[in-house]
Each structure stands twice: as structure tokens, then as C-alpha cells.
Amino acid sequence: MDTSSQPHDSKASVSLAAAGLRLYDTAGHQVTPFRPIEPGKVGIYVCGATVQSSPHIGHIRTTLAFDVIRRWLLRLGYQVTLIRNVTDIDDKILTKAAANGQRWWERAYIYEREFTHAYETMGALPPTYEPRATGHIPEMIDLIQRIIDRGHAYVVPDEQGRPSGNVYFDVASWPEYGALTHQQTGTQPADEQAAANDRLGPSIDTDDQAADTDEEPGKRDPRDFALWKAPKPTDPPTARWQTPFGTGRPGWHLECSAMSHRYLGAEFDIHGGGLDLRFPHHENEMAQSHAAGWGFAHRWMHTAWVTQKGEKMSKSLGNGLSVDQVLSQHPAWVVRYALVSVQYRSMLEWSDQSLQEAEGAYERIRNFVDRAGRILGAQPERDRVAGLSADDLPEDFVQAMNDDINVSEALASIFALIRRTNTIMDQLSNSKRANKDSSMTQVSQALLSVRGMLDVFGLDPLSEQWNHNGGSQLAGSHEKALDTLVRARLDSRERARKAKDFKLADQIRNELAASGITIMDTSSGPTWTSNC
């Protein structure tokens, strides 16, 4: 894992460019200037996965979107604390574990590890901390008691008048309910934008959590939601905790309020997640946290869905793509590019075309970086690339990123600089000495800038992340040696293809694939990456 983009100096100063950052706030429905609660520091809480099955592309889109946001905040000079939770207990985990003869905590950990591997493979920086819901039961019990004491929750008694284990938030007691989504009744969307989003239904991130409904008797109002849930008869003893409210387990919404408060305090800068979490999850989080007397998140940021052929990616539609499946067919760099090249609030259409465009981008970037490095005789040191602040990067790129993380415009500025510099390199052989020196300086500056901008997206092809995966063949003697060996096999394959010996060509491709080498045939010849 390449960690060079993470902060090391606790006294790092905020860049001049930071003053121009503007971000969308879901609650306010507008883009506004970003000002952190504490100067120089940003606290972010992002809702993580419910680890009941393997990760899919729909899950990873949100993770990578906030990874880019975090990387940009780091370039602006902020110290960033990012908390991403793991929901390791819910109805689906318990049900699926029982159906597969597993212990529920065993199943949760198996898939938690799969998610971690997917995040790492896709180049996401690790969170500052990744708390599990089951590790914070005492904080949840304290929070429930706090809400009860303030008159905004109630305990349902059993037939003998004892606490049943069911505790509900009293929505009617909280007039501010609906402040995030502007829902007039707490059950209906308040505007057409919200209605259009809701018509798509829950995304792959939460379509299983949506089934975690509050069906127990004793609710005073259909809008009330569970803070604590009495166990079902089928729940194993290890999935039950003793509390003053009775035996049970936490409600889904409660978990995030307790964990965000534990690690970020009563107030923090940004709460993020998929757009489908907006209601009911984030609405309920906001209500219960404010009802507890906390300030909670100052800004809400939500990522849009991944779609296929205009339909939201969902397991129920049968078009959810597992990360392993996609990575078996495409290099991780290409998949990451396809996922981060669309602005986080825009729907991302997942298709063969989007992956082909990502492969084309890889070819153009790789060819530029390789060519510029050969002309200059060396590449900028990785530490120098990672150490560039926002103030060191091209102005058009900075303006795009400061405009609510407008990645499309930011990427356009990268490719515009690549085109201009390619023209300069084309003319170098005919340049006079004085002009040549000036041109070489321009190439050197452009190469550093391009790699620095790519690194904001986690896509610098010479970073440790992609060198380990064979993303570039310019850094290190081992990579050079491997490139020489692979190129020799590719040359043999090309000769076989020209001789129409397709059996031999396929055999070479299969041999390389068996060794973890993926070949991409491009207009300028074959390139390769390693999945090892």
C-alpha cells in the first residue's frame, strides 16, 4: 500500500488554494465554501459496508469517491481524520450465517477481509480508523439512555411489564425530524429530486439493510425507528447483549451515531455515504444525535449510484458485478480510473465502453510518462510527486477540484497538458540548443505536474501501489527485469500473430495470464500489467 499521500507532519500548513474549496451539502441543497470546524483539520465519517457478502463495484464507488475527496483535502494541507465503520451484525448476517452453517461473527469477518482486500487492491488509502459496530456496545447503551433521559425515546415493556429489549426513537417528540431530506412527514420525499432518487430504490450498498425493518409490536408511530432490538428466537446467544432496556442488539442507525461520536466528537465536518443512505439511515442518525444534545455533522455529502444500461446496479437485477470478477478481466488501475473519473454526485454508467475509455486513458498516460522519462533520462522522485501541494499544481486543475471535486474538468486539464507537452517533445529533435533547454524544462515541469495531478486521483502510474501491480515498468531494477522478460514474450506473440499462428499466440497469452500478467492490445502495440 502506497502511503506517501498521507499526512506525516502534524504541523503541516494549509495551502492558499484551500480558501477556494466549495462543496455540496445535501441538507442545504447547494454548493457552499468549505470551512472546517477546527482550522487545519478535517473530520470525516463515511458509512462503510455491512459485511454479509462479497464486495461489488457498487460498494467500491463510494469508497473511492471519498478517497479522492480525502486526497484533495490532504493536498490542500489539511490533517484529515477519516472514520469508516464496519456493520458486522444485522439481520442478513445472522440469517445467511445460519443458512450456511457459519457462526455470525465468522461470516462477518470473512467478508470484512474481502472488503479490506478490495479497498487495498483498488488503491484506497486506509481509514484513520475502522471501528466495528460490535466493539462499541457500551457507547450505544449510553447513547440510548441519553436519548431516553431527554424524552425522545421509549422502552417497550413485555407482557409482564418488564423491559422487552425494544427501544424506539420517538419521532413525534422531535419536530426537526426531516431536516436532512426535507421530507414533510418523515415518509414522503419533499421535492422532485428526492422523489427521483427514491424511485431508483436502495443501492447495492443498502438493499440488504433495507430488509432490517422494525416489525416488533409496541411502536407508538409507524415513523419511529429502533434504537435497540429484542432478539428473534433464531438469534444465537452470542448475538445478544444485556442492557437496562432488556436483552437485544443495536439498531442499525444507532451504530453510526455512537461510533462517529466516539472518534470525531459531538461535532465534525463531513458525514458521507451513498445517496440511498440519505433516508432513512442518515435522517435517523441526524435526529437521534441532535436529540442526544450533540451537534453532529456540519456537512452531508452523498455519492450517486452505479448504473448499467440506465438501471441502478443491484443484486436483485442480477447485474451486480463482484470486484473479483471485474479485476479478473481488467487491471486495478483501469477499474479505479473508471470509477473515479465521474464526479461523485453524478450517476456512473458501468459498461464495456467506460472500461475501454479507462484503458485508453491508461495507454495515453503510460505512453506520456514513459516517453517524458526517457527524454529527460529520469523520473521525478516519488516523494517529490507526493509532496506537491495544491499550490504547486496547475491553476485550472485546482479550480476544477475546488469546484465540488469536479473530476471531469480536472482530468481534462491533465490530458490538455499531456497534449501540449507531447507537441513539445515532438519538436525537440529540431530545436536549437537554447530552445531545447527551455523545452526540456517545460517537459520536466509538465511530467511532475501530470504525475502530481494523477496522484490526487490515486492514479500516479509510478506509485508503489501500481508498481507492485506492474502498472509501470520504469521504477526499480526488478520491474525493469520483469518488463524485459514479458516484452520478450510479447514480441514472440506478435511474430506468431503476424505468421497467423494464432494457436501459439493464444498459448503465450495464456501462459502470461497464468503467471498473473494481463495483456492489453492497443493501437500502439500490446501493454501489460501484473495482478500479482
Residue positions forming the annotated binding site for ATP: 315
Cell of 407: 473530476
The set of residues, in sequence order, having a beta carbon less than 8 Å from that of 474 and lying 6+ positions away, is 369, 370, 373, 379, 462, 480
Euclidean distance between CA atoms 252 and 225, whole angstroms: 10
Half-sphere exposure of 276 (CA within 13 A, CB side): 21
Yes or no: say if 299 and 85 are a contact pair by the CB < 8 Å rule: no
Euclidean distance between CA atoms 139 and 498, whole angstroms: 68
Cell of 453: 495531478
Q: Which residue has the cell 452453517?
A: 101
Pairing of strands 22-25, 30-33: antiparallel
Euclidean distance between CA atoms 447 and 371, whole angstroms: 10
Instruction: Using alpha carbons, select from 250, 229, 317 the residue that is nearest to residue 88.
Output: 250
Cell of 479: 520491474
Q: What's the start-to-end Cα distance of the chain, in Å?
A: 13
- Which amino acid belongs to residue 453? M
Alpha carbon separation from 252 to 185, 381, 458 (Å, rounded): 21, 46, 32
Instruction: Using alpha carbons, select from 197, 225, 345, 220 the residue that is nearest to residue 281.
Output: 225
Euclidean distance between CA atoms 84 and 51, whole angstroms: 13
DSSP state of 132: B
Residue ranges of the binding site for Zn(2+): 47, 256, 281, 285
If one counts every other C-beta atom within 10 angstroms of the C-beta of residue 389, the result is 19
Q: Which helix (H) or strand (E) holds 504?
A: helix 502-514
Torsion angles phi and psi, residue 385, rounded to 5: -65, -50
Pairing of strands 225-229, 249-250: antiparallel
Residue ranges of the binding site: 47, 256, 281, 285, 315
Question: Can you tell me whether residue 342 is helix, strand or coil?
Answer: coil
Question: Can you tell me whether residue 458 is helix, strand or coil?
Answer: coil
Euclidean distance between CA atoms 254 and 248, whole angstroms: 13
In our burial notation (b when 16+ CB lie closer than 10 A, e otherwise), range 105-133 reads bebbeebbebbbebbebbbbbebbebbbb
If one counts every other C-beta atom within 10 angstroms of the C-beta of residue 529, the result is 25
Euclidean distance between CA atoms 375 and 486, whole angstroms: 23
